[in-house]
Structure 1
Amino acid sequence: MSSSADIVKRLLAPRAVSSSASPQVQSEETEQKVLEIIAHFSEEGYDLPVTSGPEGDAEARAPLSEREMIFLSREGILRFLLAVKGDVTAAIARLEKTLIWRRTENVEDLQAMSDSCEPEATTGKNIVLGYTKHSRPIIYFFPNRNTTPVERRRAIHAIFMLERAADLMTGGVGDTMVVFSFIGKRSGQPTSISVARETLHILSEYYPEKLHTSHFLAMPWVVKAFVNLMWPFVDANTKKKVRFGEDIVASGEVDPGELLKECGGDLESPYDHQSYWSTMIDACKERREDQLRRWRALGEPQVGRGERLFKVAPE
């Protein structure tokens, strides 16, 4: 019989995109704009502030790290460009703002983020597990499992899981499926409006085009009222991707064996924090190391490389 850790490891193993799925072809105008952005971040002596906000030293600056260059992949740049409707200046400004935010939040230090976020993760309120038919990682939110006191809840925990989903993506995959399930008895107080607004702001500002679909299941009336309250703060593009009460398996997006049973699938995998957390962290570290090794093998460090060249599924 497979152990809990073995099951998690299998479900987190990156999936290759179908060989028939060719890269999306952009217009010549869009390609030229992507090259303009690449040229900006490739300028000799280019650097950015090390941190932001009142606590930051405005004089402290640093060049792009290898991890930041990986973040500035061709696909990553294109996502930001599309988010600002093709405005090169706006895309550059938003990318720079995002890079400074990532530095401030120490996003590229997986272990430090893990140590910071793990205390909030022990109940399995937010996990990454399994993939859709198109190799998109599935992120689950179980708000009723959230026992963290309201005053100690932070938006960065949800962002940490989105980053881990990104680690598990292979070239050709740039977004995720997110499932919010309110099944079960609530263990703590509901999320505050301030944390929800902060999370929405971070996602829309620093993670454009990262959501494929978002499913809300078994919503009680109080949650529906909360969603209605937050709905005006959700951008129009994201609203199109939200599904309320939809049968996920029937939608054809995911195979039953890849979706947790409590969310309508056939997968039985009760949350065990000790086996899940360490296995997930190890899997993501392994993927990051493999991607960095492949990226370095492509030659001199540079921004704008296609993710299919270094985000490769293991054989």
Structure 2
Amino acid sequence: MPFPVSLLTPPAGVTFERQFTAEQETDVAALAAHYNADGYTLDGEALTEREQMHLSKETLLRFRLSSRDVAHTIERIDANTRFRREHKVEDWEAMAAAVKPEMKTGKVFILGFSKAGQPVMYVFHPRNDWPSAQRTQIPAIFFLERARDLQAGGVDSIYVFQNYGVPKLGDNQTPAFAKENMQIVADHYPRNVGKAVLQDMGFVVRTFINLIWPFVDSWTKEVTLFDKSSKPQPDIEASLIPKECKGEFDYTWNVDEYWPVLMAVIKARRTDQEKRFREVGAKVGVQEKLFKVTDVAVTL
């Protein structure tokens, strides 16, 4: 039985309008003008269409809000573009093929949306059975990118559950690995996470979190909730939250059911976004609501 497409379809009618102050509008316009200048290149390469899409008005604002000034923002965005090129982030199908073997246990997946329309990403750390020496940050990057693909209607953040209560299948995550993960999120996905819920942390995990907490960026600290309740999070319909996370959704993970549906949905949405992006005028600084819409046909 295939995984329901509806669980990867943004809810109709849910929209979000990011408000910009006059100063933010001025700074974002300056950033867009910098990257849209005739002949602009980075390391001798012009921005691709996908790189321009990534540098939406909302992305420019997120980087600006987490930087000292416009000049520092440009430095960070340039570093982000180099990072994305190095990791071939836009070659999403090759990245999918690389991470699928690690997904057999259901350690990371996207399922449903919050009431505010945010794609919901679940991370079950104890399910990571991959040998410690072979672990990379690619699975996390892959799913952060897919969650961004699923945003629509002006929604510009994601919702993340990190659960530590399921049976342990592999080695514990090392502080160094966790610190690297947090650094990537802070440097290359600033303010992308609208809420992070940490659940079922035993003594060892709490000690671990306390060890790495000083390295967590201020935004992540602000949006993180240490969930000690026995009830499901009210931001999401309980019927969409897995039972492992105190919800009512009862699903036995099967990567061979989930993966083809995820791939079909992402392909359809990215293709539609590219078409709409060209129609509104492909350039840096376009608002995402103009090319990320809810209603996209998916063929399985």
Superposition TM-score tier, normalisation by shorter sequence:
over 0.9
CA contact (8 A) 1:146 1:188 kept: yes
Q: Tell me which amino acid in the other structure corresponds to 2:14.
A: S
Match of 2:106 among 107, 120, 124: 124
The 3 A distance-change label for structure 1 pair 175 and 153 is same
**TM-score (norm. length: structure 1):** 0.90
CA contact (8 A) 1:17 1:170 kept: no
Tell me whether 205-214 or 9-18 shows the greater mean CA deviation: 9-18
Displacement of 1:137 in angstroms is 0.7
Displacement of 1:145 in angstroms is 1.1
CA contact (8 A) 1:17 1:173 kept: no
Equivalences for residues 7-156 of structure 1 within 5 A: 7=4, 9-16=5-12, 18=14, 21=16, 23-49=17-43, 61-84=44-67, 87-156=69-138
The 3 A distance-change label for structure 1 pair 245 and 29 is closer
Q: Tell me which amino acid in the other structure corresponds to 2:191.
A: E
Q: CA deviation digits over 1:155-206, x for unaligned, max 9?
A: 1211111101000000311111111112232111111222111111100000
Cα distance in 2 for partners of 1:250, 1:273 equals 25
Gaps in structure 2 of 5+ consecutive residues: none
The equivalent of 2:227 in structure 1 is 245
Cα distance in 2 for partners of 1:93, 1:250 equals 41
Cα distance in 1 for partners of 2:114, 2:229 equals 14
The 3 A distance-change label for structure 1 pair 134 and 247 is farther
Gaps in structure 1 of 5+ consecutive residues: 50-60
Q: Tell me which amino acid in the other structure corresponds to 2:10.
A: P
SS in 2 for 1:157: helix
Equivalences for residues 151-162 of structure 1 within 5 A: 151-162=133-144
CA contact (8 A) 1:258 1:266 kept: yes
The 3 A distance-change label for structure 1 pair 165 and 222 is same
CA contact (8 A) 1:175 1:209 kept: yes
CA contact (8 A) 1:17 1:135 kept: no
Q: Tell me which amino acid in the other structure corresponds to 2:25.
A: E
Cα distance in 1 for partners of 2:262, 2:230 equals 24
The 3 A distance-change label for structure 1 pair 276 and 251 is closer
Q: Matched residues, percent identical?
A: 35
CA contact (8 A) 2:126 2:167 kept: yes
**TM-score (norm. length: structure 2):** 0.94
SS in 2 for 1:89: helix
Displacement of 1:250 in angstroms is 5.3
SS in 1 for 2:195: strand
Displacement of 1:285 in angstroms is 1.2
Cα distance in 2 for partners of 1:247, 1:68 equals 41
Q: Tell me which amino acid in the other structure corresponds to 1:236.
A: S
